[in-house]
Structure 1
Amino acid sequence: MSTSPPVAVATPSPPRTASLVGFLVVMELASGLTQGWISPLLSSFVERYGLTSADANWITASALLSTVVCVPLLSKLGDIYGHKRLLAVAASCVALGSVIVAIAPDFGLLLAGRVLQGAITAFLPLEFAIVRERAGERAGRGIGLLVGALTIGASLGLLLAGVAKQYLSLSATLWIPAVLMILAIVVLLFLVPETTTRKTGGVDWLGAALLGGGLVLFLGALGNGARWGWTDARTLTGMLGGLAVLVLWVWVEQRVRHPLVDLALLRGGGQGLPLLTAFVFGAHLFGSSAPNSVFLATKPRSTGFGLGLAGSALGGALLVLGATMFLGTALAAWLTKRLGRPRRW
C-alpha cells in the first residue's frame, strides 16, 4: 500500500521587503505632513483663540509632552502584542487628535487633540521593528528611506499648509492631515503584515503615569508662572510637586523589573554629551517655533513688528528649516566617517 506525500497548503505570500517599505513610506509621508502642518498655522490659532505667544507655545509643547510617554510605552506594547497592531493604535490616536484639532471650539480641546497627536512619534520605532523582522541585516536601507520620507513629508507640510491657509478656512485646512492619516491607516491595515516575534515582560504603567504626571505638573506651573506670579502658591506647588513626582519616577525606574526607560543605558555608553546637545537643540527648535511663526505672519503696520508673510511665503520661509534638517540628516553618516567617531563622555 503506497502513501502519497503530504501536500503543503498554499498560503498567501507576504509582501516583499521593497513593497513593505513602500507601504510604510506612505505612513511616514502622512506623519511628516501632519507634524509640519501646524507651524505655519500658529498665528491663525493665536487669532482664533485670542492667545499670547506663550500660550501658542503650548500647542507645540502639549504634543511634545505626550511623546515622552507615548514612544517608550507604545514601543514596549508593540514588542508584546505586535508592532503593526500598535502602529494602527497610534495612527488612530493621531487621526482622532487631528479631527479634534480641526473642530475644537476652544483652546483646551485643541490641546487635548494635540496630546493625542503626540502618538505620531511612535510611528518610526514601530516601523523599524517591522522592517527589521522582514529584512534582517538589510534593514538599514529601508530605515533610511522611512526617515527620509518623514523629513520630506514635514517639509511638504510646512509649504502646503501655508498655501492651503491662503485659500481655505482654518478648519478646512486642518481637515487635510486628518483625512490623509485616515487613508494611511487603510494602507497599513490591508497591506502591511504583522510581526511574529513577541517579547515577554510587563508594562511599566506606574512609570508612565509618574513621568507624564510629573512633567505636566512642572511644565504647567512653569508655563503659567508669569501669569500667576512666580511666588504664587499654584506656581510653587506645581513646580515643586512636579519635581517630587519626577524624583519618585527615577526611584521607581531603578527598581522595577521592566522599566519604562532604562536609566542605566543613559548613565553609560558615552551618551552624556549627545543627550545634552539634543536637549539644548530641542529647547531652541521647539521653543522658538511659535514666536517665529507669529513674527513671520504678523503685519508690521498694525503692531510695529513682524514681516507680514502670508500663505505660501510663510510656508516657504519655514520650509528653509525643514530643508536644512533634511540636508543634515543626509550628511550625518558621511561626516561621521570623514571626521571619525566622537569621544566618549
Structure 2
Amino acid sequence: MVQPSTASHPGDAPGGASANSDWRLRAPFAILLVALLWAAQLVNAASVITATAQAQIAQYFHTTQIAWYSLIYVLCGTLLLPFVVKLGDMFGKKRIMIVVIVIGLIGDVISALAPTYAVLLIGRAISACYVPVAPLVFATARDIFPARRVGTATGIIGATLGAIIAVGPLIAGFLLDNVGFRGAIWFVSACTAVALLLVIVLVPETPRRAAGGFDWLGGVLLGASIIALMYGVSQGSVWGWLDARVLALAGGAVVILLGFVLVERRVAHPLLDLPMLSRREVATVLSAGSIVQGTAFVAAAIMTVVIPLYPRIPGVSDGLGWSAMQGALVGLPAGVVLFVVGMAAGASTRRFDPRVPWLLGVVITMAGLVAAGFYHHNAVQIIATGMLTALGAGMVYACNPILILSAVTPREQALASGMSLMLLGVVITFVTQVLFTVLGSHSTVVKGTALYLDAGYRNGYFVLAGCVLIGLVVSLLIPKLRRPADIEAGTAAAG
C-alpha cells in the first residue's frame, strides 16, 4: 500500500509551515469552491460543447468514423488517469493540475485549427490530458475544506454538471449556427485558459501523500491492458464482436492485467492500492458509479445530439433536422432539472444515507431512457422524456462523488476518484461502441456520412436502459456507508 510521506516540502501544507500560512486556505469558501468546480467541470464542459458539434463535424469532414471523435478523447484520458493521480500524490495536486491543463489547452488549439479529421483527432488526444483533473479536484477539496464542508463542497461540484448540460448546448448551438464547430472548440479553449488561471491564483497546494518512487513497470502493464481492451471494444462494431482479433485483444488485456496485479503485490511503491479496491464498499461504489454515469453520459452526448441535428429524409434518415440552437433550447428544461435536482440530492445526503437518493436516481434514469425509446419524435416528447431522465441523472451525478467520499479515507480519495474515472472511460467506450453498432444496423450511408433510422434510435435507448439496469443490480450490493457529516477531512483542511 502507498504510505503518506512524512517529509516536509517547501510550499506544501502541512509541511514545514502551517497550513493556514497560505492565504488561499483562508479565502472564502465560495471562492475556493468556484475555482475547484470550474476545473473539475472543465472536462464535462468540453465534452458537452464538443459533443454538440459532432453532427456538424461528421458532415464537414465526410467521415463515417465520427465515433472516434469521442473515443480517442476517452481512451487517452483513461490511460493517463492512474499516472496523473499518482504524480499528484507525489508532487502536489496543484502542480500536476497546472501541467495537464496547459497540455490540454495546446490540444484544444490544435483541434480548433485542424485542417483534416486526422489532425482533429490528434488534437483531441492531446486535449485528453486534462481529463484527470477531476479526481485531483475532489481530493483537493477533501484536503483544503474542513470536515463539516467536505460533503457539501463535493456534492456541489458534482451537481454543477447540470448547469454545464443546461448552458453548454445553448452556447454550442449559438456558435455552431453562427461560426461553425471551430468556434465551439475555440470557446472550449477559452474555458481551459480560465481554469488554468483560477487554479494558479486561487487553489492552494496540497500535502504530498505518496512516498518517492514510481511503479513504471506496473504503469506500462496497466496502460497496455487498458489500450488492448478499449481498442478491442472500439473495433467490435467493425470487425465483429466474435472476430478472432477482438477476442485476442480482450484475452490479451486480461492476461496483461493479471501480470499487473502480480507486479503491484511485489513493488515497494505500487501504482494502485489493490487492498483498497478489494473492499466491498469501494468495489461496488466504483463499479455502479461508472456503469450508471457512463451510460447517462453516452445518452446525453450521442442520442440527444444525433436525433435532433441529423437531417430528416424519408426512408434515409429519421433525424429531426433542427438547428443546433433549436436542439439546445429543447434540451434546456432537462438541463435545468438536472442542476436543481442534483443540488437538492447533494444537500439531502448530509443527514441521510447517500445510497437512498442514489438508488432512486438510478431507477428514474432507467425509466426515462425506456420512455425515450418510445417517445423521441418531436419537441414535446423529447422535453418530457429528457426531464424524466434528468430527474434521475441529477441524483446520480450529485451522489456519486459523495458515495466515494463515504467509502474511502482522505489518503485514498484521489486514487479512488481516479479509478472511478478510469472505469467510467471503459464504460463510455464500450457503451458508445455498442450504441453505434445498434444505430448502424438501421442506417444509410450518404456521401460518406452514416444517417440513422428510427428503429436504431428506439433500440439504442433500450440498450442504454439495459446498461443502467446492470448498474442498478450492482448498486443493490453497496453496503451501508458513512454519512457525509461523519466523513474525515484531509490534514490540510482549515477549521
Q: Does the alignment reach a TM-score above 0.5?
A: yes
How many equivalent pairs are there? 333
Q: Please name the residue that 2:348 is paired with.
A: 334
Tell me which of 300, 306, 309 is aligned to 1:297.
Answer: 309
Tell me which of 92, 96, 105 is aligned to 1:95.
Answer: 105
* Cα deviation, residue 164, structure 1: 1.3
**Cα distance change, pair 98–320 in 1 and its aligned pair in 2 (3 A):** farther
Q: Please name the residue that 1:200 is paired with.
A: 211
Contact 1:67 1:122 in 2 (8 A): yes
Q: Please name the residue that 2:167 is paired with.
A: 156
**Cα distance change, pair 250–317 in 1 and its aligned pair in 2 (3 A):** farther
Q: Please name the residue that 1:137 is paired with.
A: 147
* Cα deviation, residue 232, structure 1: 5.6
The answer to which of 268-277 and 169-178 deviates more is: 268-277
Contact 1:28 1:153 in 2 (8 A): no
Q: Please name the residue that 1:65 is paired with.
A: 75
For the aligned residue pairs, the C-alpha RMSD in angstroms reads 3.2
Contact 1:31 1:153 in 2 (8 A): no
Q: Please name the residue that 1:34 is paired with.
A: 46
CA distance in structure 2 between the partners assigned to 1:58 and 1:213 by the alignment: 19
The answer to which of 124-133 and 210-219 deviates more is: 124-133
CA distance in structure 1 between the partners assigned to 2:77 and 2:215 by the alignment: 16
* Cα deviation, residue 71, structure 1: 3.1
Q: Please name the residue that 1:3 is paired with.
A: none
Q: Please name the residue that 2:176 is paired with.
A: 165
CA distance in structure 2 between the partners assigned to 1:287 and 1:84 by the alignment: 30
Q: Please name the residue that 1:315 is paired with.
A: 328
- Structure 1 length-normalised TM: 0.81
**Cα distance change, pair 161–235 in 1 and its aligned pair in 2 (3 A):** same
CA distance in structure 1 between the partners assigned to 2:287 and 2:203 by the alignment: 37
Q: Please name the residue that 2:114 is paired with.
A: 104
Unaligned runs of 5+ in 1: 1-10
CA distance in structure 2 between the partners assigned to 1:335 and 1:25 by the alignment: 19
Residue by residue over 1:31-59, the C-alpha shift from the partner in whole angstroms, topping out at 9 and shown as x without a partner, is 4422321221111121123233xx33332
The 5 A counterparts of 1:219-238 are 219-229=230-240, 234-238=245-249
The answer to which of 33-42 and 15-24 deviates more is: 15-24
Residue by residue over 1:154-183, the C-alpha shift from the partner in whole angstroms, topping out at 9 and shown as x without a partner, is 432232112211111221221111122123
* Cα deviation, residue 215, structure 1: 2.3
Q: Please name the residue that 1:270 is paired with.
A: 281
Q: Please name the residue that 1:14 is paired with.
A: 23
Letter in 1 for 2:168: G
* Cα deviation, residue 96, structure 1: 1.6
The answer to which of 77-86 and 301-310 deviates more is: 301-310
The answer to which of 224-233 and 202-211 deviates more is: 224-233
Letter in 2 for 1:285: A
Seq. identity, %: 26
Contact 1:203 1:258 in 2 (8 A): yes
The answer to which of 36-45 and 197-206 deviates more is: 197-206
Q: Please name the residue that 2:88 is paired with.
A: 78
**Cα distance change, pair 20–329 in 1 and its aligned pair in 2 (3 A):** closer
**Which SS does the other structure have where 1:309 is aligned?**
coil
CA distance in structure 2 between the partners assigned to 1:202 and 1:13 by the alignment: 28
**Cα distance change, pair 225–124 in 1 and its aligned pair in 2 (3 A):** closer
Contact 1:27 1:188 in 2 (8 A): yes
Q: Please name the residue that 1:46 is paired with.
A: 58
Letter in 2 for 1:44: Q
**Cα distance change, pair 38–236 in 1 and its aligned pair in 2 (3 A):** same
CA distance in structure 2 between the partners assigned to 1:176 and 1:43 by the alignment: 18
**Cα distance change, pair 225–83 in 1 and its aligned pair in 2 (3 A):** closer
* Cα deviation, residue 315, structure 1: 2.2
Contact 1:217 1:242 in 2 (8 A): yes
CA distance in structure 2 between the partners assigned to 1:126 and 1:220 by the alignment: 26
**Cα distance change, pair 344–161 in 1 and its aligned pair in 2 (3 A):** closer
Unaligned runs of 5+ in 2: 1-19, 356-475, 480-495
Contact 1:131 1:139 in 2 (8 A): no
Q: Please name the residue that 1:7 is paired with.
A: none
CA distance in structure 1 between the partners assigned to 2:282 and 2:229 by the alignment: 25
Q: Please name the residue that 2:492 is paired with.
A: none
CA distance in structure 1 between the partners assigned to 2:310 and 2:183 by the alignment: 22
The answer to which of 282-291 and 261-270 deviates more is: 282-291
* Cα deviation, residue 143, structure 1: 3.5
Contact 1:90 1:123 in 2 (8 A): yes
Contact 2:22 2:204 in 1 (8 A): no
**Which SS does the other structure have where 1:274 is aligned?**
helix
Q: Please name the residue that 1:253 is paired with.
A: 264
**Cα distance change, pair 199–278 in 1 and its aligned pair in 2 (3 A):** closer
- Structure 2 length-normalised TM: 0.59
**Cα distance change, pair 104–240 in 1 and its aligned pair in 2 (3 A):** farther
